[in-house]
Structure 1
Amino acid sequence: MLPGVAQPAYVQGTLDTLLSADGSVDPAAVSLADTTFVVLDLETTGGAPDGGGITEIGAVKVRAGEQLAEFGTLVNPGEPLPPFITVLTGITEAMLRPAPPIETVLPALLEFLRGAVLVAHNAPYDVGFLKAACAKHGYPWPAPRVLDTAALARRALTRDEVPNRKLGTLAHFFRSVVQPNHRALDDAKATVDVLHGLIERLGSFRVHTLGDAIEFAKAITPAQRNRRHLADGLPHVPGIYVFRAADDRPLYVGKSNDIGKRVRSYFTASEKRPRMSEMLTAAVRVEAVECAHELEAEVRELRLIAAHSPPYNRRSKYPERVVWLKLTDEVFPRLSVVRRFGTDGATHLGPFSSRRTAELAAAAVYDAVPLRQCNHKLSLRTRTPACALAELGRCPAPCEHEISPQEYDLRAAAPFRTATSGDPGPVIEAILARIDTLSDKQRYEEAATVRSRLIALLRALIRMQRLDALTRLPEIVAARRDDKGGWEIVVIRHGRLAAAATSPPREHPRPTLDAVRLTAETVLPGPGPVPAASAEETERILAWLDRVDTRLVETSGDWVSPARGAARFTALLTRAESAASTQDSTVRLSVTDRSYDARSLRL
């Protein structure tokens, strides 16, 4: 529905019933006892909704076990009535000839449905015919909540109790006053008794609300059904939630803008992950931690996962397991994969999430500059036999003293240092030239391998320079409008979220901002591009700061990046990633179109 556009009364009434005060759909808040149901049954000419017609409509409105109203009419389908339908229902063409057509009946029926939950036995069939009729004759479908008594019966009744879920079988089981006879109003009345009988059964399954009943009717696991109560009482605010085991161990940590709604979704048919079903079996309670806004929830989630390593969290489970590429502090430096960012002043590149990615980036560097790849500790006094790379011209053979330390540093080490902290252009251009050479020789598989290395290197360079620019700042205070008229406020110190708050709607945010700065965490500087937080946390903060609606309030220092830094190769990285994802074999056109490269290098 379009905002500001008047809707028919029956549409607006349905929406008003299902919307809470803040405009969000909240069926879980409506108890079954307080819900108004319209139990409906249709008789048709048979076939599919788009090829058949409605011949009779019967509907009964009930609430709290009491009948409020009835609706019943024959409908002229405008087409011949198949003989078997007459035999089945007793409805004849003579009975239908004076009946009103469906386009005349629909307004009254939709008004009768207004503000109620639609109930039917095998509901998709009846709803399908009604939706098709509305679409055909230009009536907007009000999209009411739908409850299917057949689906409820499949969940609430066992095969020992009823052999099947047919309406006649269920009506007999629940001792319905009216037995179904393939006439719409009688079948609707029988379905009312079936509905009431099923609702009595639902209490033993901890199903007490409309939302619970709708989800219960879907295919959910016993663990989901038995643990549904864990979502009771959780707040509908931004924050994190922790599923805990009997010994209070965290099993799973998640975040949401609406804790209660998100946790409830774990107990619905939409949750199909096997590991979540296993987790729910072990969970005994859910702990909620309210947060000021979404960014604080994201950061707290990352920190809790890092602190506790919950067994059912996969992503970010081991954020401490990052590696770095280090240019060693030797006479003839080399690249080494290390676990920690050192404090010896050596040049580092990273962090990388895996050793394999770090080695890919190192291979890209080797494609561009003649850094030695051996692990020996070389001495200026003693010569060491050269390896095969020296014979191939891929290494200047410092082991045999074929190059001085000064020249080695100028040709091999200095370009890497410059690439990490400033302009990576010469290194990137050398890699692109190598891809060009391989492409000229039609060695496309090798060129694609070099392209993969280039992607790993560019990602690392762009990421590190972005992180480093932010984490150098002792403090940033930023804010953005929320959807309720207040301001989301953050205090960031050396790339770490030090405090978060939300100012009240329609009030000046300065008092809240001043208060949150006074109570913000003290964060000390440290070495490297992520001295005070995980790389993931700082990247989440950067993404929040990059939003167009975020405003910088105060910064202590200049937030700057190298003028000719790695960020100017973002477009090249995107193009290379796109080519790699499609397995494009035309490596030259995908990555190294020279006119494209020239433009990117001048950015």
Structure 2
Amino acid sequence: MQSDSHRIDQASLAALPRSPGVYIFKGEGTLPLYIGKSIDIRTRVHSHLRARDEVRMIAQSRKVEFIETAGEIGALLLEARLIKQQSPLFNIRLRRLRNLCSIRLSKHSDFSVTPEIVSGHDVCPGEAENLYGLFGSVHAAQKKLRELAGIHRLCLGLIGLEKIGKRGCFGLQIKTCLGACVGQVDRSEHDLRLLNALDALRVHAWPYRGAVDLIEQQGDWIQKHRVQNWRYLSTWCSKTNQRTQFEQHEFDLDTYKILVKPVMLGTVRIDQI
């Protein structure tokens, strides 16, 4: 669809800035059709107008509103919050808070480790140690464990997905298990392969004692996004000298994904409270 074939108010398109923030496609009613974010709002909106797979959304749109932010992190956080609050018709991801589960490693007296699947109701993702992966269901977590077991030749019995019989696990019989379940391979060697397999899925515990401010600046404009235990609490804006409270009480996977890299890699300015 070309930009001249839509029915979107031209004044709303002309007002779009070339700066970071959130844009909102609206139709005849007050509810949004689609909410997105970009570091260049004008360019991103016009790319929607040319997208062939978005013809239905553009055909229903009548205007585009926007909210500027001082940086990309603020845009991402605002987008995720607005989508969860307003459930736009054409947004598929970020629409629902999920009941997450994770893989936790339990250590035993003989120094062996065993993975177990735990619910987010029973542990606090982002606060607890030894958590790996954030999954939408127990089945998804089990599927990931099976996938890793196949790649790293782990024993399905020792990782809790099968029973171990007198002759070992079934994987030993079909030669997918190296034999840790019957002592053919040292248990510590098996557990090291398990740890290596899970390492890329590590859920990082919050690295600070309390809340911090993530600071973004565009010219003289400063925004401070307050975060604690990967929960997005508020944003202070220098333009209004006010703090907008959000009080995100539950761990949210989308917020964690937005924050974990800039926080852990130190690519954003951080002030401890």
Calculate the TM-score normalised by the size of structure 1. 0.34
Deviation by residue 1:242-285 (Cα, 9 ceiling, x = unmatched): 223445443211123454x2475257xxx432222221112234
Task: Say whether the 8 Å CA contact 1:238–1:293 is kept in structure 2.
Answer: yes
Shift of 1:343: 1.1
**SS of residue in 2 equivalent to 1:469:** coil
Equivalent residues in 2 for 1:426-445, closer than 5 Å: 426-427=192-193
Relative distance call for 1:346 and 1:366 in structure 2 (3 A) is farther
The structure carrying a bigger helix percent of its residues is 1
The residue correspondences of 1:501-520 to structure 2 (distance < 5 A) are 501-503=236-238, 516=243, 520=245
1:367 pairs, out of 134, 154, 170, with 154
Q: 1:343 aligns with which of 95, 119, 122?
A: 122
Counterparts of 2:248 and 2:90 in 1: how far apart (Å)? 31
Instruction: State the structure with bigger RCO (CA 8 A, min sep 6), 1 or 2.
Output: 2
In the alignment, is residue 276 of structure 1 matched against residue 54 of structure 2? yes
CA positional deviation for 1:369: 9.2
The number of residue pairs the alignment matches comes to 256
Give, in angstroms, the shift of residue 357 of structure 1.
4.5
What do residues 270-310 of structure 1 show as CA deviations (whole Å, max 9, x unaligned)? x4322222211122343434445432221111223344554
Is it true that 1:474 corresponds to 2:252 in the alignment?
no
Q: Residue 305 in 1 paired to residue 83 in 2?
A: yes
Change in Cα spacing, 1:361 to 1:234, as seen in structure 2 (3 Å) is farther
Q: How does 1:111-510 map to 2 (within 5 A)?
A: 220=2, 223-224=5-6, 226-229=7-10, 231-232=12-13, 234=15, 236=17, 238-257=20-39, 259=41, 261-262=42-43, 265-266=46-47, 271-316=49-94, 320=98, 324-326=102-104, 335=115, 340-343=119-122, 348-352=131-135, 355=140, 357=144, 359-363=146-150, 367=154, 371-375=158-162, 387-391=169-173, 394=178, 411=188, 415=191, 426-427=192-193, 454=197, 457-461=198-202, 464-465=203-204, 468-470=205-207, 473-482=209-218, 484-503=219-238
- Does the 8 Å contact 2:132/2:201 carry over to 1? yes
In the TM superposition, what whole-angstrom CA distance separates every residue of 1:351-405 from its partner, at most 9, and x where no partner exists?
14793555433545653897145445x9xxxx888543355564555xxxx79xx
2 CA distance for matches of 1:551 and 1:347?
Answer: 27
Query: CA shift at 1:490, angstroms?
Result: 2.3
In the alignment, structure 2 segments of 5+ residues that lack a partner are none
SS at match of 2:2: coil
Between structure 1 and structure 2, the one with the greater Rg is: 1
- In structure 2, distance between residues paired with 1:551 and 1:294: 13
In structure 1, how many angstroms separate the alpha carbons of the residues matched to 2:161 and 2:152? Answer: 14
Letter in 2 for 1:294: E
Q: Which runs of 5+ in 1 are unaligned?
A: 1-218, 416-425, 432-453, 505-510, 525-530, 556-603
Q: Is the 8 A contact 1:230 1:286 kept in 2?
A: no
SS of aligned partner of 2:50: coil
**Partners in 1 of 2:150 and 2:103 — Cα distance?**
11
Deviation at 1:349, TM superposition (A): 1.7
Q: Which residue number corresponds to residue 90 of structure 1?
A: none
Structure 1 pair 246–291 and aligned structure 2 pair: CA distance change class (3 A): same
Work out the CA distance in 2 between the residues paired with 1:299 and 1:275: 26
RMSD: 4.6
Match of 2:258 in 1: 540
Question: Given that residues 155 and 171 in structure 2 are in contact (C-alpha distance below 8 angstroms), is that contact kept between their aligned partners in structure 1?
Answer: no
How does the TM-score come out when normalised to structure 2?
Answer: 0.66
Q: Is the 8 A contact 1:491 1:500 kept in 2?
A: yes
Q: What is the deviation of 1:537?
A: 1.8
Percent identical: 16
Pick closer, same or farther for the CA change 1:274–1:322 going to 2, 3 Å.
Answer: farther
Task: Write the letter of the residue equivalent to 1:541.
Answer: L
Distance 1:347 1:544, change over 3 A: closer
Structure 1 residues 460 and 242, CA, compared in 2 at 3 Å: closer, same or farther?
same
